[in-house]
Amino acid sequence: MRVLVTGGAGFIGSHLVERLLGSGHEVRVIDDLSTGTNVGLLADLGVELVRGDVADAAAVTQALRGCDAVAHLAAVASVVASMERPLETLRSNVTGAVTVFQAAATQGVRRVVFASSAAVYGSNQDLPLSEDAREMPLSPYAADKLTGEHYLGHFHRSGAFRGHAFRFFNVYGPRQDPSSPYSGVISVFLDRASQGLPLVVHGDGGQTRDFVFVKDVVDVIARALEGAGGEDAALPVTNIGRGVAVSISELAHAAAEATGALNARIEHSEARAGDVRHSLADVTLLRRRFDSVPGTSLRDGLAATAATLTPAP
């Protein structure tokens, strides 16, 4: 099978590329390299890279030629950026998604997997969050992702291809850039702890999240591209999380332990406006559709991530 991975030079995309190659698939990547930093890795793996914008129909059509499936991961994955520059992020996140879906339909691609987000649930606190929970997006980014799901559903129902949307919870792991404004709290905590810097917790630290290791995430995506996950007439939408709630305070201590910084100082700052208090995935559908849930514990995932950090000079 030949698979196009949009955003394949990025954090999650580069791990998906490795997972697909390891299963014997051919892989091509399209990425505008605005945030993707793993070009050297792709070259070492012998992966063809098309440098282009997913909102550019000509570039996407070129990249899709001869492909059997596409994993659409490319996006401006930043709530803050979407609030500051909503038209710019809409072009990447909505126009880009529709461009990929339309090109996939015209090129005869059989399967399309779309990276959505738990952000679509917004302030909904009916925990754990199941896929039929009310969507309450609080940002343009969340609205973009929900819109992408609706467009994917259109193509799926029309029979153009088989689609599957995955709502990612808090994904972490190696190659997540702690200096990026789009990075997650784990990469920042590990980076600061490894440098002997204090870990800054916004608010009281009692807020909770569902953290899921990147290799577990890409395993589910790869299996969906290979045909797992069912053949529903309606678009399958599936959470990817562990179904385990971890407080930010617990996370800070675990990150310090993973880096050996047992005396790391933890500081508190003001809570961020609009920050959701609790987020937790219901993984019932994930287990039903894929016969398992992500199995990497937070402790093991943190250790694996910390092992890849460059030691501070």
In order along its 313 residues, the chain shows pLDDT tens digits of: 999 999 999 999 999 999 999 999 999 999 999 888 899 999 999 999 999 999 999 999 999 999 999 999 999 988 888 889 999 999 999 999 999 999 999 999 999 999 999 999 998 999 999 999 999 999 999 999 999 999 999 999 999 999 999 999 999 999 988 766 556 889 999 999 999 999 999 899 999 999 999 999 999 999 999 999 987 889 999 999 999 999 999 999 999 999 998 888 999 988 876 678 899 999 999 999 999 999 999 999 999 999 988 654 4
Q: 199-202 and 246-247 as β-strands: parallel, antiparallel, unpaired?
A: unpaired
Closest CA to 172 of 8, 37, 300: 300
On whether the 175-210+243-306 domain is CATH 3.40.140.10, my answer is no
Number of other residues whose CB lies within 10 A of the CB of residue 223: 18
265 residue type, one letter: R
pLDDT value, residue 183: 64
Which one from 141, 151, 172, 182 is the annotated catalytic residue?
A: 141
Number of residues assigned to the chain: 313
The predicted pLDDT at position 154 comes to 97
Largest distance between two CA atoms of the chain: 58
Question: What is the pLDDT at residue 158?
Answer: 96
Q: Among candidates 95, 82, 75, which has minimal Cα distance to 12?
A: 75
Is the sign of the CA dihedral 293, 218, 250, 81 positive or negative?
A: negative
pLDDT at 313: 43
Q: Note the CATH number of domain 2-170+212-240.
A: 3.40.50.720
What is the domain partition of the chain in residue ranges?
Answer: 2-170+212-240, 175-210+243-306
DSSP-based three-state secondary structure for 140: helix
Q: Is 141 a catalytic residue?
A: yes
Instruction: Mark out the alpha helices in the chain (DSSP H runs).
Output: 11-22, 39-45, 57-64, 79-84, 86-90, 96-106, 140-158, 185-194, 214-225, 248-258, 284-290, 298-306
Q: SS3 of 176, please?
A: coil
pLDDT score at 126 = 95
DSSP 101-130: HHHHHHTT--EEEEEEEGGGGTT---SSB-
| Torsions phi, psi for 89 (to 5 deg) | -75, -30
